Structure 1
Amino acid sequence: MTAAADERFLADEQVSPDTDADPIAAQTEAPTPDPAAYLRGYHATAALRGATELTKGAGYVLGRALQQSVTPGANTRDARRWWRHVLTRRRPQWHNEHEIVFETPIARLRDFSQGSTDDVVPTLVLPPQAGHDSCIVDFQPRQSQMMVIREAGLTRAFTLDWVGATRETAHSTISDYIAVVDRAVEHCRATSGQDVVNLVGDCQGGWLATIYAAMFSEKVNTLTLAGAPIDFHAGETPIGAQSRVWAQRFGQLPYRAMVAAGGGVMPGSFVLGGFIAIKPDAEIAKHVDLLRNLDDPEAIARYEAFEDWFKHTQDVAGTFYLWLVEHLFAGNELISGELEVDGRRVDMRSISCPLFLLGGATDHITPPVQVFAAADHVSTPADQVTRRTAPGGHLGLFMGNQALRHEWPPLLAAVAEHSRRG
């Protein structure tokens, strides 16, 4: 598997040369007035891309079958090997040295400090929470957001690890998640002797970090948001357009139906299916690339590492999921200033700490405009707001080599400048 092909499916890093004309890649400053029309165009383009990838795959298979040097037996063996790699999945793993500090029914706290006693503000990561394992922040031994944080000098590094929802935790609320974040923050403060923490929020972890920072601003030293939907109504995305169409036609009924089908939880398999449907061409392309590279052990290892993470899903608490659909997806209340948690209004203007924002240029899940909007609603001075745009897509912000090697280090170095004590 070539490096370019690996980046295409592993981290959605490949940038199409016709980005500006492509409804899959293009992001506008405001949603289109007709989301149904946008979706028709989007899915038509996605179907065309998927068909193109299928044609490439079929052409490769046919061409190989016609090669006189390749016997039918070899083709059969390759087909079996291919299916084995496609169908065999393992539970994803955490890779670098750390310890579990505490565990609750909805989250664990993992400490990557590795015994550090440095006099530095501790850093707490809130990973994505969209039906996948939190180990995306420690994806591979040398492809790890947690290690990049440590290498920036932020050696007291922690991350929450979201536990898949069960029937027992299906009714967990936003208050429960804020409480577990606060417990993690208090542990970081107590063990480091610092009064504040650096919060890093990836994707859904970003809006949760923002809510926490607004409610407990005195505990937050810096706030870093990567691929985080803060203004859910900015830009146009297939997820946003679909939610608008459903809201206009059915209200929250589709979401409630999915949670009901999951017995009170939002099934991770439903979320996975939605992600695949957004970019079917990427799903097809990675399997075609696998077929082309069955004799490349490194390519196989990369394929399996990503598929083990991507296809191993976990469920999301139904009550929590429906809350975020109502108040954030549909209501956009974090931006409007109407959001309330535990009877308190969540006012982003309470946030005045240094703010670091990272978006993906071709992010079709959370376009940069949704992330960068945070700067317009906080009290942080303009000269303490940093914006960076990585040349890739959504997952690439958290696990892609481009972002981890070139985008995160300077951003985290700036965070470290605000974090040294003594």
Structure 2
Amino acid sequence: MSIDKLAFSGETLPGLFASGLEYLVDTGQRSVLFFDVMRERGLQYREHMAETAPHVLNYQVELIVDGRKLPRPVNYGLVSVAPPRGVVIDTKRRPFVVVDPRAGHGPGIGGFKADSEIGVAMKAGHPCYFIGFLPEPMPGQTIEDIARAEAVFIEKVIALHPEADGKPCVIGNCQAGWAVMILASLRPELFGPLIIAGAPLSYWAGVRGKNPMRYSGGLLGGSWLTALTSDLGGGKFDGAWLVQNFENMNPSNTLWTKQYNVYSKVDSEADRYLEFERWWGGHVNLNAEEIQFIVDELFVGNNLAAGRIKTSDGQTVDLRKISSPIVVFCSKGDNITPPQQALDWILDLYSDVDDIRAYGQTIVYTVHETVGHLGIFVSGGVAKKEHSEFSSNIDLIDVLPPGLYEATFEAKSADTANAELAGGKWIMRCERRTLDDIRAMGGNTAEDERRFATAARVSEINLSNYRKFVQPWVRAAVTPQMAELMRQWHPLRVSYEAFGGDNVVMKGVARAADNIREQRKPAAEDNPFVKFQEAVSKNIVDVLDKWRDTQEALSEALFLGIYGSPVVQAAVGITPDADVSPKPQMSSEHRERLEARIAELRSQVGSGGLREGVIRGLLYVGSSRGMVDERSLEALRRARANDAGSRLTLEQFKKIVREQFFILLLEPAASLAAIPKLLPPDEGERRAGLEAIRSVLSASAEISGEAAKRLDRVTELFGLAGKSRAKAS
């Protein structure tokens, strides 16, 4: 759009002059107000970083365990979260524990707003706890030390809730996700369901043409640069560099859009911008040992799902040892942790769904269509929908039979059957899936895997050479004063500090901004110069996006070309037919336990009573639908509540469901034929059991098709088929 076009679009010259004058006044005022927002941002940054324990939680908290006082001290701590006014907590409900990522920023993003992971969990009645950290690591702390400390924290939560109806549900955001998974594989007895949000677990995974961040390690020659940065930091890695990586991924937002939004909407955008910047600018440090583990073992080495990580006492980190349900939340709009990196660990570990079941695992995933990486944690819309449903239906997830499921959400409407059985505005279903559903999202070829394995080998060689020939000189040259000066002069920190000074210029900006607010004269939205400004902004964004796309395409081509070279691969020992990502084999110990368990379950085909018979019949009929609906669980919960003779805890109920599921899976014909032996002779009790099955099934949908045929079969097994028909006639 040009001024000439604007002039000929019905705007007369006097009108254009008046619009121009209005725009000049407006843009002048906006410029001063914008710099005042930058001033407030700088002052806020200084105040935030001066706090002893800076965080952005929107709740009152109380320190429960200070990790600095543990035998192996860490800069982490456990706090309890006080519910806001009007929210009632049921102490018998399972507690939620939110673990925030230490990826360059400070803690609190999981409770950043009222509509947040913590907020929706408390609204559902759950006690909530938060695991956060201080800006500076303790001397010598490692990733393993942090994992051990988090185990102590979760043990404390369990001890505080002896009457809870389940083990804590633990939410791991982003980088905290893989940390929680590691701990859950080492201490599975501590955990209830795990919710892993936006967390990378399969670090090489992706599709060509998208999200090239996974190529960075190879293009930089591996992790030697990480070691150099830590050495220049005097043994600490400045988290601002991690934040800088995120900034570099979206140059149009970093260099233009974020600031332009404030400038163009300065009357309404300032508070939201400052609120977010308080977290985004809260940079924290990591020990050199911590960041080196993260880069070597995870992002470059991809050793987590492969089972190649071992603890100091020799334990192998095997994600198949996790016994709690795992909920994976990811998004197609996430350019930091795309769905492949969040989900392909399942393909790395298992051959099919039966393989998942052999380890007794329940995995539920959901893929958002558009939300970005940070939106997974901070978006109010996501909190009100996905996180709210996960919190409200965590018991449903906990009792799901082992297997792979996708969580889907349907909005309630006037036509929704039994809508009163589902809380909130959405209905959650867990629909049965196979590994082919994950493969359909795209992923690496075997050739791509060899490229990444080659990059990992090159990284090992470069790191070894750096440590041998360069590191001693760097460490000898760097003083504590130099390291601190480098942190202070990091470009991101300077961008905050530059406007936060208490100098004559900034004082003048503050006074001018106060005067402008009293006589603010914004331009009309249809002002042609405002429209021209928007057009210019859009063009700038388009240019920067094209630059990013070109840069990303070039980086992908370079990575594929360099590390796909047969010469480079041969030089580091990667053969053309090498399987560089073999699935870890089932251990002989697990196979023995599995065979013993199978024999035990087969021996129990005819064991049990009415409760086992009802659950077996319910699973047989319900499995024909391929999904479980939250309304069915609520109907089942109400049936249990009305059963005065039931003394089952949720854990006991879950155990029975799993046993009956596996019995049906192992011996389908024999397990059905044995149902009459489980039932009491009293017709009234059998009829009540059958009605319980019918009410649970009809809660979510009409019983028809294959489900109706199976229900007729179960009715016969309950000895009520003829009597039901006679009663109906």
TM range (shorter): 0.7 to 0.9
- Provide the rounded CA distance (Å) in 2 between the counterparts of 1:352 and 1:358: 19
Superposed, 1:381-400 pairs within 5 Å as 381=357, 384-390=362-368, 391-400=370-379
Contact 1:152 1:413 in 2 (8 A): yes
Deviates most, 102-111 or 368-377:
368-377
User: Is 1:171–2:140 an aligned residue pair?
Assistant: yes
The alpha carbon displacement at 1:119 in A equals 1.3
1:295 is displaced (CA, Å) by 2.0
Does residue 65 of structure 2 align to residue 102 of structure 1?
yes
Question: What amino acid is aligned across from residue 218 of structure 2 in structure 1?
Answer: R
Which residues of structure 2 form unaligned runs of 5+?
Answer: 1-15, 49-54, 69-74, 400-636, 638-648, 651-729
Match of 2:101 among 96, 117, 128: 128
Equivalent residue for 2:382?
Answer: 403
Measure the CA separation in 2 of the matches of 1:294 and 1:338. Answer: 51
Question: Does the 8 A contact of 2:230 with 2:237 survive in 1?
Answer: yes
Mapped pair 1:290 → 2:262: yes
- The question of whether the paired residues in 2 share the 8 Å contact of 1:170 and 1:319 is answered with no
Q: Residues 82-161 of structure 1 correspond to what in structure 2 (within 5 A)?
A: 82-89=34-41, 90=44, 91=48, 93-105=56-68, 106-112=75-81, 114=83, 116=89, 118-140=91-113, 142-153=114-125, 155-161=126-132
Alpha-carbon distance in 2 for matches of 1:206, 1:129: 11
Q: What is the letter of the counterpart of residue 81 of structure 1? A: L
Task: Give distance in 1, aligned partners of 2:89 and 2:379.
Answer: 27
User: Any stretches of 5+ residues in structure 1 without a counterpart?
Assistant: 1-62
Q: Deviations over 1:268-310 (max 9, x none)?
A: 22122111111111222121111111222xx211111111111
1:374 positional shift:
4.1
Query: How much has 1:318 moved relative to structure 2?
Result: 2.0
Residue in 2 that maps onto 1:8: none
Q: Which amino acid aligns with 2:36?
A: R
What is the correspondence of 1:358-369 to structure 2 with a 5 Å cutoff? Answer: 358-369=329-340
Q: Distance in 1 between matches of 2:273 and 2:320?
A: 43
Residue among 233, 238, 241 paired with 2:204: 233
Corresponding letter in the other structure for 1:185: I
Question: 342-351 or 81-90, which moves further after superposition?
Answer: 81-90
Equivalent residue of 1:302, what SS?
Answer: helix
Pair 1:69 & 2:22 matched: yes
Kindly indicate whether the alpha-carbon contact (under 8 Å) linking 2:330 and 2:366 is maintained by their aligned counterparts in 1: yes
Cα separation, 1, equivalents of 2:189 and 2:380: 34
What's the counterpart of residue 321 of structure 2? 350
CA distance in 2, matches of 1:175, 1:259: 19
CA–CA distance in structure 1, aligned partners of residues 382 and 339 of structure 2:
14
Deviation at 1:87, TM superposition (A): 4.2
Q: Deviations for 1:71-119, whole angstroms, at most 9, x for unmatched residues?
A: 56x6444322212212433225321233221223411212126494521
8 A contact 2:116–2:380 mirrored in 1? no
State whether residues 178 and 199 of structure 2, in contact with CA within 8 Å, keep that contact through their aligned partners in structure 1: yes
Say yes or no: does 1:78 pair with 2:30.
yes
**Residue 244 of structure 1 aligns to which amino acid in structure 2?**
G
C-alpha deviation, 1:64, in angstroms: 12
In 1, Cα distance between equivalents of 2:17 and 2:105? 36
Q: 1:204 aligns with which of 153, 171, 175?
A: 175
Residues 102, 176 of structure 2: 8 Å contact kept: yes
User: 1:356: how far off?
Assistant: 0.8
2:166 matches 1:187: no
Provide the residue aligned with 1:308 in structure 2. 278
Q: Partner letter of residue 392 of structure 1?
A: V
Question: Larger % of helix: which?
Answer: 2
Deviation at 1:259, TM superposition (A): 1.2
CA distance in 2, matches of 1:254, 1:103: 33
1:318 maps to a residue whose letter is A
- Give the aligned residue type for 1:85: V
Q: Which amino acid in 1 is paired with 2:367?
A: T
The answer for the alignment partner of 1:317 in structure 2 is: 287
Distance in structure 2 (CA, Å) of the matches to 1:230 and 1:362:
17
**How far did residue 197 of structure 1 move?**
2.2
SS at match of 1:235: coil
Counterpart amino acid of 1:267? Answer: D
Specify the SS of the correspondent of 1:316: strand
Moved more, 191-200 or 337-346: 191-200
Alignment check: 8 A CA contact 1:122 1:197 kept: yes
Whose relative contact order is higher, 1 or 2, with alpha carbons under 8 Å and at least 6 apart?
1
1:328 and 1:294, CA in 2 relative to 1: closer, same or farther beyond 3 A?
same
Contact map agreement 1:174 1:341 (CA 8 A) in 2: no
Q: Distance in 1 between matches of 2:228 and 2:361?
A: 46
With normalisation by structure 1, the TM-score equals: 0.76
Coordinate RMSD, CA, aligned: 2.6
Match of 2:195 in 1: 224
How many Å apart are 1:383 and its aligned residue?
8.8
TM-score by length of 2: 0.45
- The separation in 1 between residues aligned to 2:34 and 2:170, in whole angstroms, is 42
Q: Which amino acid aligns with 1:294?
A: V
Shift of the alpha carbon at 1:239? 2.7
Q: Report the CA distance shift for 1:149/1:65 in structure 2 as closer, same or farther (over 3 A).
A: farther
Structure 1 residues 329 and 78, CA, compared in 2 at 3 Å: closer, same or farther? same
Residues 64 and 200 (structure 1 numbering): CA distance in 2 closer, same or farther, change over 3 Å?
A: farther
What is the percent sequence identity of the aligned residues?
Answer: 22
The whole-number CA distance in structure 1 between the counterparts of 2:57 and 2:132 is: 10
